[in-house]
Chain A
Amino acid sequence: QSALTQPASVSGSPGHSVTISCTGTSSDVGGYDYVSWYQQHPAKAPQLIIYDVDKRPSGVSNRFSASKSDNTASLTISGLQADDEADYYCTSYTNRRTLVFGGGTKLTVL
């Protein structure tokens, strides 16, 4: 099963916004509303920041928002802060009753 496609890196200045895309197929992203996003700081375990396409777990900043259109999901981080610098991963449920990750995107806050 192929990984979902994410840009390798994105960057933005403090206070600005960035968007990370996650492209799959109709067998995963396009077929289910089970896209999640994770933030991983260096040497730390991943943290869930978005689930079910656009929902935020309790305690996650509303600067994180997400959406989906057809086979592509997107994560937007607004009001960039230094601590947002991390790796971001999307996942989706698939028609094989499994999950698949994206390749990950490194966010640099300039």
Chain B
Amino acid sequence: EVQLVQSGAEVKKPGESLTISCKGFGYSFSSYWIAWVRQMPGKGLEWMGIVYPGDSDTRYSPSFQGQVTFSVDKSVSTAYLQWRSLKASDSGIYYCARRYMSSWSMYPWGQGTLVTVSS
């Protein structure tokens, strides 16, 4: 079964750094793009960007360019989302999702990681 499993909830203070993870199971991790999606509390889904584990090719949404960094470690089939200096407005649920076949759609999705940034 193809599955993405994300790291657990995080509580951080403004200015702190954070890396969350997304581990793929049941498929060739290097061969499928991984997308990151934000959902702020009570709000809709926002596409943050996408990374190709095969060569680390990365595309960021203009809204998130320079605010976060995507990376991958193929050896452990894991994608990462990193912040260098968190803000309260970074609070939300972050989902990873795999590109579905050759379509520009996303399936499956990880279970989500709740990030809370508060002083």
Residues of A within 8 A of B (CB): 1, 3, 32, 34, 36, 38, 40, 45-48, 51-52, 55, 57, 87, 89, 91, 93, 96-104
Contact = CB atoms under 8 A, between A and B. Distances in A.
A64 B55 CA distance: 36
Given A48-B100, A57-B100, A36 B105 contact: yes
Interface residues of B, number: 25
A55 to B, nearest CB: 8
Interface string B47-76: 101100000000111110000000000000
Interface in B28-58: 35, 37, 44-47, 49-50
B103 interface: yes
Interface string B3-46: 00000000000000000000000000000000101000000111
B95 A45 contact: yes
